[in-house]
Amino acid sequence: MSRPSSSSAGPSTPTRALSTSAPAQQSTGKKWLTRAPSVYNKLPGTLFLGSERLVWKQDGVPQPAVNVRLDKASAIFNSKEGALPVRLKVAFTDNEKGYQFAFAAPEAEEALQQRAEFVGLLTPIINRNKSLASPAPGTPAPSTPGERAATPMAGPMIGQENILRRSVLLAHPDLAQLHKDLVISGQLSEAEFWHGRESLLSSERAAAGQKRGRASQLVDPKPQTGEGGDIRIVITPQLVHDIFEEFPVVARAYSENVPNEMNESSFWARYFQSALFNQNRASTRSSAPQHTVKPDLIFDAYLEPEDDASSPRQILSESVDRLLDLAATEEDHEETGNEKDVTMQPGRERGILPLIRRFNVHSERLLQQALGEGPPGKRRRLEGGEEARFDPNDYYEEIVIDDLIDHHASTGVQLDLLNASLFSTTTTRAPDAPLRTAEESAALLSSFRSQTHGYLSALHSLKPSRKAAEAAFQGMTSAVRAQHAAHRSLPPIPPEFFRQMTTCQTAANEFLRQFWGAVLPPPPPPPPIYAGAGAGAAGDRIGLSGRERAAKAQKMAGYLARTGEKVDALVKAAEGEGVDPERVRAAFGPLMSAVDKALKLYGQRRKKA
């Protein structure tokens, strides 16, 4: 059995006391922003964070081993979620390897909170360093029409937006390649590239904001067989925390016997061989033979009688929500009968009753944690945030999903007609005036009736012959089979040449998207709940002015005008790659049709202007 980690949590595990000797920054009268016990180079100590310095000092050593200025901090890295111990790495411009610290809090959740506090304080400092390292305002830089800079974003907000964009690019490799081809090469700016992709950022922001709940799996440590045949159970701080939370009796035994009666290693070694562990296992009692359980005077005192009676020992006193009550519709089946089912009677095998009831208690605990710790009446809130007593007959708030309700009435998209004069009316009429007179309506109905008089009888009399229908079906099937055979007989396109074709296609599609986004009327603003960085006070994303839209359309039209040259170059290169040039030209046919349509519209607009 492996020795438990020194950072194992426990109710009475003492937290390492912070060093009382203050490092350099505190001696000057300045207060540290935060501090936490940590391990650096396998040595215990304390990590200090100030507004200007990051300091780590070993316990019992007066001089700090790490004392660096934060004006050169460039990045921070976290260990993977769920990995133990909880680590934090800080990199600097003059030291890319940086410094890596492991938080030594007794519980994993406390270590995660300490790391989150350090990350929250270090992030604005690193963003400030990056902004200072960027070109000065007077330095000339290539500018492209982008979003208005009327409301500049703060440093932390820019950092959060960049993190969201990076997550989206990592989740969509094709989009990341397009970003590399267009943005990194300088053809598009960041604002232009992400304009119109707010939905991706909103989805990523919602996913990042979701809080991971507690795992629904019942705590059941699995023994592992070592190389020498010995049985081992790997104990981690998270496992210890889960055991104490799931089985309070084990936590009570730990606090009453460690370290007075035994040390921590002996406690876990004896617990996993005791009848108490066998009682708490997430399996039937018959799966663990009694001869493998050793009598233990200490742990046997914490044993509880098996809950295998006909009625459970723990009865829930709280009334069950009608939306979750399986017996809520017992009176809705008068035709088929509402007699209780006798095929699933509990207690036929008394050995599984304790396990079933443990699962029920575990599920109830998860449900209570999801709903909150307050009383049922305070878990439901009315609109506006006012608390009110829950009405058991009012389930509107429980079944209506707010995300599916459109709270913003759409004003529609204004059509841009080429010959608007043909559709406009110069005469005005009263609001209640009819569109046509009674004589005009009667004449219109008579004309429609005369034109459609013989349609219905012709349809009724239509009876195609069976041979004609089969011949038509066979003809269509043969045409489809021949088309598929022609496609299957084509040789594959070389991967490198196909990648060039794909790059040209995706780049032209992006230019088309940008062009139509600048030419067409702007869409309605997104709801406030989906507004992110770059949004105004009311949640509306800052758009482009008319002059900026015209400049952007001109820029994209210039890119689209060169698409034909790129396609012609690929068609000429196809012959050298062993690909039929006409096949390549046919593949780009729909794209060139869309490009010609966009350029034609742009030319017409320039003539009108």
Task: Kindly state the average pLDDT of the residues 230-251.
Answer: 84
User: 34 and 49 in contact (C-beta within 8 Å)?
Assistant: yes
Residues 6+ apart with CB under 8 A from 134: none
Nearest C-alpha neighbor of 549 from the set 525, 521, 507, 524: 521
Return d(Cα 59, Cα 18) in angstroms, integer.
8
Task: Kindly state the average pLDDT of the residues 249-259.
Answer: 89
pLDDT band at residue 103, thresholds of 50, 70 and 90?
very high
pLDDT number for residue 533: 42
Q: How many CA atoms lie within 13 A of 100 on its CB side?
A: 10
User: 8 and 240 in contact (C-beta within 8 Å)?
Assistant: yes
How many other C-beta atoms can be found within 10 angstroms of the C-beta atom of residue 49? 21
Return d(Cα 510, Cα 516) in angstroms, integer.
10
Residues 6+ apart with CB under 8 A from 223: 231, 232, 233, 272
Percent of the chain with pLDDT over 70: 69
Nearest C-alpha neighbor of 544 from the set 250, 192, 286: 192
Return d(Cα 354, Cα 284) in angstroms, integer.
8
pLDDT 10s digits, 422-446 = 665 544 555 555 677 888 889 999 9
For residue 506, give the H/E element and its range: helix 495-519
Least confident of 46-55, 202-211, 312-321, 379-388: 379-388
pLDDT number for residue 526: 52
pTM score of the predicted model: 0.46
pLDDT number for residue 363: 82
Outline where 430-465 has alpha helix (H): 438-451, 455-461
Phi/psi-derived region of residue 196, left when phi > 0, alpha when psi is between -120 and 50, beta in every other case = left
pLDDT number for residue 136: 41
Three-state DSSP state, 209: helix
282-296, 480-494, 561-575: which has the highest mean pLDDT? Answer: 561-575
The number of angstroms, rounded, from the C-alpha of 484 to the middle of its chain's C-alpha atoms is: 40
Give the phi and the psi of residue 102 in degrees, each rounded to 5: -115, 125
How many other C-beta atoms can be found within 10 angstroms of the C-beta atom of residue 239? 20
> Is-same-fold flag (24-133; 493-522+543-609)?
no
pLDDT 10s digits, 11-26 = 333 333 333 344 544 4
Domain spans, the chain: 24-133, 155-208, 232-302, 306-316+347-377, 493-522+543-609
Helix axes 248-257 and 264-271, enclosed angle (nearest 10): 140
Give the phi and the psi of residue 110 in degrees, each rounded to 5: -65, -40
pLDDT number for residue 52: 85
Token pair, residue 455, equals 């349609």
Return d(Cα 486, Cα 151) in angstroms, integer.
58
pLDDT band at residue 149, thresholds of 50, 70 and 90?
very low
Return d(Cα 218, Cα 221) in angstroms, integer.
10
Return d(Cα 344, Cα 340) in angstroms, integer.
10
- The mean of the pLDDT values for the chain is 75
Residue 588 pLDDT > 80, yes or no? yes
493-522+543-609: which CATH architecture? Up-down Bundle (1.20)
Task: Kindly state the average pLDDT of the residues 208-222.
Answer: 75
User: 277 and 223 in contact (C-beta within 8 Å)?
Assistant: no
Residue 607 pLDDT > 80, yes or no? yes
pLDDT number for residue 477: 94
| CATH classification code of 24-133 | 2.30.29.30
Residues 6+ apart with CB under 8 A from 43: 58, 65
The number of angstroms, rounded, from the C-alpha of 523 to the middle of its chain's C-alpha atoms is: 25
For residue 67, give the H/E element and its range: strand 66-69
Return d(Cα 322, Cα 418) in angstroms, integer.
59
The number of angstroms, rounded, from the C-alpha of 472 to the middle of its chain's C-alpha atoms is: 51
Task: Kindly state the average pLDDT of the residues 382-390.
Answer: 41
User: 270 and 261 in contact (C-beta within 8 Å)?
Assistant: no
Residue 571 pLDDT > 60, yes or no? yes
